[in-house]
């Protein structure tokens, strides 16, 4: 199956939730783990045990692994490998974006069959122009993987660029939505090109009606996003919206049972 089909199946099985694996130094400390690669590994593999086969998607934040050098990247590779076949999809949160051969190399790393860093999808930045993502789009199509392009992020700095209006009267964010919709045309039930839209952006000002793809909504939970915010942004029907919760779930560690209970509680709230 293609990524959009696998994602729809995973959400149908486990509910609409993406749990972040964010080995933030503060979380390592709260779990009583050392601030080194061994602590990172224990944190990450506990998350794999807790969430594998129980949530639709996990989203390891690549930066927290990279901060530990080659040993940290090896842990990220282990996370991706260990979750393969569990029914839980892996979205590598790397936010890669570049041009030409450099973007092609990122695509090879995160979207090509056989690469140890290739999960089921990767986050990408289209802010060198959506066309700069062509190598990632082609690699994803060839391997049955997906991408999530940043569209409207909740950080205050993003608004000046993302809500800016182009010569055709569309916002920059809307132009990204429209390009993603074009890539997803005819997909059923979901296309392979998703968007990242923060749960705390305040107002949407985007027409997502033709997207036919998933929307990743980070910021749910500890960052202040609520179920009401999601419904106000995206409407009462949240099909295709994948809320992300990281710290709000991870703070319940290090026990696997308590992590699972926390994820279950968030999922129940989303399904009410």
What gap in Å lies between CA 6 and CA 90, rounded to an integer?
Answer: 11
Which CATH number does the domain housing residue 156 bear? 3.20.20.70
**Predicted TM-score (pTM) of this structure:** 0.96
Catalytic residue IDs: 95
Quote the number of domains for the chain.
1
| Residue matched to tokens 């809307």 | 174
In this prediction, residue 223 carries a pLDDT of: 65
The answer, yes or no, to whether residue 236 has pLDDT greater than 80, is no
In this prediction, residue 222 carries a pLDDT of: 63
Interaxial angle between packed helices 227-234 and 256-271, expressed in degrees from 0 to 180 and rounded to the nearest 10:
40
Average pLDDT, the chain: 95
pLDDT tens for residues 137-183?
999 999 999 999 999 998 889 999 999 999 999 999 999 999 999 99
What is the share, in percent, of the chain residues with pLDDT greater than 90? 86
Asked if 16 contacts 204 with a C-beta cutoff of 8 angstroms, the reply is no
In this prediction, residue 203 carries a pLDDT of: 87
**How many Cβ atoms from other residues are within 10 Å of residue 105's Cβ?**
13
Query: pLDDT: is 236 or 244 the higher one?
Result: 244
Give the domain range for residue 72.
3-271
């Amino acid at each position: 199956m293609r990524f959009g089909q696998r994602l729809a199946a995973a959400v149908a099985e486990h509910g609409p939730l993406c749990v972040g694996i964010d080995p933030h130094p503060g979380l390592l400390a709260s779990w009583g783990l050392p601030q080194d690669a061994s602590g990172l590994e224990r944190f990450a593999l506990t998350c794999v045990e807790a969430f594998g086969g129980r949530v639709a998607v996990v989203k390891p934040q690549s930066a927290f692994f990279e901060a530990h050098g080659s040993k940290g990247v090896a842990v990220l590779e282990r996370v991706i490998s260990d979750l393969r076949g569990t029914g839980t999809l892996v979205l590598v949160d790397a936010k890669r974006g570049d041009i030409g051969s450099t973007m092609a190399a990122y695509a090879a790393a995160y979207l090509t069959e056989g690469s140890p860093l290739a999960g089921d999808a990767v986050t990408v930045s289209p802010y060198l122009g959506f066309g700069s993502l062509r190598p990632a789009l082609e690699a994803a199509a060839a391997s049955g993987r997906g991408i999530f392009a940043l569209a409207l992020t909740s950080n205050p700095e993003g608004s000046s660029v993302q809500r800016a209006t182009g010569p055709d009267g569309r916002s920059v964010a809307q132009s990204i939505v429209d390009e993603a919709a074009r890539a997803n045309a005819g997909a059923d039930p979901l296309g392979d090109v998703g968007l990242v839209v923060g749960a705390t952006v305040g107002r949407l000002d985007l027409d997502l009606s033709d997207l036919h793809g998933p929307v990743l909504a980070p910021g749910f939970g500890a960052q202040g996003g609520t179920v009401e915010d999601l419904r106000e942004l995206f409407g009462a029907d949240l099909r295709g919206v994948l809320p992300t919760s990281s710290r709000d779930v991870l703070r319940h560690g290090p026990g696997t049972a308590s992590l699972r209970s926390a994820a279950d509680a968030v999922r129940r709230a989303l399904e009410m």
